[in-house]
């Protein structure tokens, strides 16, 4: 029994060691990515359901890996969060997206300026001096502050609601807008929701899918869109994949939609083509 146990431990050890080595290599790779400009942003249009036109974008991070090709965020954001690298990475994304927005606002003037929505992870929200980062950014990049939206998750809000509310209020005082991402999938209580200075609820794709999947209906989407209206917030439906879902959302007066039905996330040059076509009469 004793030798068997030893053998098991050895196998376990070597497995862990290999895992640790893979993680360390990826972490080193990720550092290199940040230093050598291998990160890039894709932009996914967010469409006004009333006008059918592009109202803004969500910036989504990609890693242009020299060997692995284009790596999706689910394959590297968790590690970036664990290692803390998400803080400089997130700061980079915020700057890059804001500068891109500035260019598009100038080139494609809208009565209501185009907006840019940027994901902020919990670690970045807590560890970074986000208020200062955003203030510096707005000082150096002349966009209307209200056209910058930060997407926060419910778990981030509920981890430390008091501290979170104070931070959010300071951002809101600069007129920056705040969204709750994947709304309905976390545990935020309605009582808290009311007290956070939030502008937008992003309705999670799982609820949008129920509209047309045959396994459920649009009831939850409708409840969230109504909740947003009552709380004087906007709603953005995420992951809209077909005309049936888009039609339903438009019928219940959901303000914005985002999803493959309208456009996939794409590099800035591609999105520019969409913007140009969108403005054509
Ligand atoms: P998310 O914030 O919920 O972003 C929406 C995800 O849904 C994106 O995946 C987008 O490509 C995808 N999507 C959009 N429309 C559709 C659709 O019609 N159908 C389907 N099936 N999917 C759709 P992506 O780009 O792979 O990003 C995954 C997650 O990675 C994001 O989820 C977000 O949590 C995280 N992420 C991405 N960029 C950043 C970033 O810059 N910072 C941080 N902290 N997280 C990021
Ligand atoms: Ca998001
Ligand atoms: Ca989301
Ligand atoms: Ca999500």
DSSP, residue by residue, 45-96: EEEETTT-SEEEEEEEEEEEETTTEEE-GGGTHHHHHHHSTHHHHHHHHHHH
Contact 42, 97 (CB under 8 A): no
Q: Which residue out of 33, 89, 119 has the highest number of ligand 1 atoms within 8 Å of its CB and is therefore the one to mutate?
A: 119
Model pLDDT, residue 5 = 64
Flag the least confident range among 4-18, 186-200, 262-276. 4-18
Question: Hey, what are 35's tokens?
Answer: 């230093």
Cβ 153 under 6 angstroms from ligand 1: no
Mean pLDDT value of segment 223-238:
95
User: pLDDT tens for residues 232-254?
Assistant: 999 999 999 999 999 999 999 99
Q: Residue 209 pLDDT > 50, yes or no?
A: yes
147: nearest Cα among 73, 200, 195: 200
221 CA distance to ligand 4 centroid (A)? 16
Identify the residue with better confidence: 74 or 188: 74
pLDDT exceeds cutoff 60 at 108: yes
Q: How many CA atoms lie within 13 A of 50 on its CB side?
A: 7
According to DSSP, the residues that pair with 257 across neighbouring strands are: 47, 237
Q: How confident is the model at residue 13 (pLDDT cuts 50, 70, 90)?
A: confident
Say if ligand 1 is within 6 A of residue 119 CB. yes
Residue with the smallest CA separation from ligand 1 atom 37 is 60
Give, in order, the Cα–Cα distances in Å from 11 to each of 15, 20, 99: 6, 14, 50
Task: For ligand 1, say whether the CB of 128 is within 6 Å of any of its atoms.
Answer: no
What pLDDT is recorded for position 64?
A: 94
The two beta strands, 200-203 and 69-71, are unpaired
Phi, psi of 103 (to 5 degrees): -60, -45
Choose one of 43, 60, 100 to mutate for the ligand 1 pocket test, by most ligand atoms within 8 angstroms of C-beta: 60
115-119 and 148-153 as β-strands: parallel, antiparallel, unpaired? parallel
Q: How confident is the model at residue 1 (pLDDT cuts 50, 70, 90)?
A: very low
Ligand 1 pocket residue status of 73, Cβ below 6 Å = yes
Q: Rounded to an integer, what is the distance from CA 68 to the centroid of its chain?
A: 23
Structure tokens given for 60: 């989504």
List the single range of 14-18, 74-78, 272-276 with lowest mean pLDDT: 14-18
Q: What is the mean pLDDT of residues 4-19?
A: 72
DSSP state, residue 253? T
216 pLDDT band, cuts 50/70/90, is confident
pLDDT for 281 equals 60
What percent of the chain has pLDDT above 90?
73
- Average pLDDT across the chain, whole number: 91
Assembly ipTM: 0.98
Taking the CB of residue 246, how many other CB atoms lie within 10 A of it? Answer: 23
61 pocket-lining for ligand 1 (C-beta < 6 Å):
yes
**pLDDT, position 9:** 64
93 CB under 6 A from ligand 1? Answer: yes
Strand-pair partners of 115: 56
Q: How many CB atoms lie within 10 A of CB 125?
A: 23
Q: In ligand 1, which atom is closest to the CA atom of 151?
A: 2
CB 171 within 8 A of CB 124: no
Please state the pTM of the whole predicted model: 0.92
Residue 58 has pLDDT above 80, yes or no: yes
The backbone region for 188, taken as left when phi is positive above 0, alpha when psi lies in -120 to 50, beta otherwise, is beta
pLDDT at 8 over 80: no
49 near 55, Cβ under 8 Å?
no
d(Cα 277, Cα 261) in Å, to the nearest integer? 16
pLDDT of residue 53: 95
- Residue 265 in contact with ligand 1 by CB distance below 6 A: yes
SS3 231: coil
Name which residue sits closest to atom 10 of ligand 1, judged by CA.
265
Closest C-alpha residue for ligand 1 atom 33: 119
Ligand 1: does its nearest atom lie under 6 Å from the Cβ of 204?
A: no
Confidence of residue 25 (pLDDT cuts 50, 70, 90): confident
Q: How far apart are CA 172 and CA 146, in angstroms?
A: 9
Nearest CA, atom 8, ligand 1: 60
- Work out the widest C-alpha separation in the chain, in whole angstroms: 79
Pocket mutation for ligand 1, best pick of 70, 73, 185 (most atoms within 8 Å of C-beta)? 73
């Amino acid at each position: 029994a004793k030798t068997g146990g030893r053998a098991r431990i050895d196998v376990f050890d070597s497995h862990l060691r290999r895992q640790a080595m893979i993680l360390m290599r990826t972490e080193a790779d990720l550092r290199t990515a940040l230093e050598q400009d291998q990160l890039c942003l894709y932009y996914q249009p967010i469409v006004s359901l009333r006008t059918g036109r592009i109202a803004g974008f969500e910036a989504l991070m990609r890693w242009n890996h020299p060997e692995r090709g284009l790596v999706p965020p689910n394959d590297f954001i968790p590690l970036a969060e664990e290692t803390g690298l998400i803080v400089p990475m997130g700061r980079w994304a915020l700057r890059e997206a804001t500068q891109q927005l500035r260019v598009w606002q100038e080139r494609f003037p809208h009565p209501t300026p185009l907006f840019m929505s940027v994901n902020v992870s919990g670690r970045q929200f807590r560890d970074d001096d986000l208020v200062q980062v955003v203030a510096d950014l707005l000082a150096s990049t002349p966009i209307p502050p209200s056209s910058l939206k930060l997407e926060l998750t419910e778990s981030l809000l509920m981890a430390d609601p008091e501290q979170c509310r104070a931070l959010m209020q300071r951002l809101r005082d600069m007129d920056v807008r705040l969204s709750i991402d994947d709304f309905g999938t976390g545990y935020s209580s309605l009582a808290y929701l009311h007290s956070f200075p939030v502008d937008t609820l992003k309705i999670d794709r799982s609820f949008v899918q129920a509209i047309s999947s045959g396994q459920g209906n649009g009831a939850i989407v409708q409840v969230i869109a109504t909740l947003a209206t009552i709380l004087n917030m906007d709603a953005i439906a995420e992951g809209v994949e077909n005309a049936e879902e888009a039609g339903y959302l438009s019928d219940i007066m959901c303000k914005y939609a985002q999803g493959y039905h309208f456009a996939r996330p794409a590099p800035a040059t591609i999105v520019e083509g969409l913007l140009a076509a969108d403005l054509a009469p």
